[in-house]
Amino acid sequence: MYDIEKYDQAVDVADAIRALENDPDAVVISGGSDVLIKIREGKLAGCSLVSIHGIKELEGVSREPDGTIVIGPCTTFSHIANNEIIRRYVPMLGDAVDQAGGPQ
């Protein structure tokens, strides 16, 4: 069904970096739905995948002392939409991500 050469599930950031150093052409995924469509279409056939899904240090929203808002790459749309920092400082972003994707 899917032509995937290798799949690594990273347990932390250091583990993901190691996997990417060992295979620089690997594709990083979290949910993977977009990448899996490309693999099925043959656009990424035979690729290796490194999943960062579930790495807690890559989740969440924070605000730095200079006011910069940081959104971790594994933060879900629902967590962004409902986050107090987003609601206070960039409510339009929260509204926008609430419109993307399906409810799952």
Q: Tens digits of per-residue pLDDT, 48-92?
A: 999 999 999 999 999 999 999 999 999 999 999 999 999 999 999
User: Rounded to whole angstroms, what are the CA distances from 4 to 44, 47, 75, 83, 99?
Assistant: 8, 5, 25, 35, 31
CATH hierarchy code of domain 4-51? 3.30.43.10
**Of 10-14, 15-19, 26-30, which gets the smallest average pLDDT?**
26-30
Q: How many CB atoms lie within 10 A of CB 88?
A: 11
Q: What is the mean pLDDT of the chain?
A: 91
Mean pLDDT of 14-26: 96
How is the chain split into domains, by residue range? Answer: 4-51, 59-97
Element (H, E) at 6: strand 4-9
Residues 6+ apart with CB under 8 A from 35: 27, 29, 44, 49
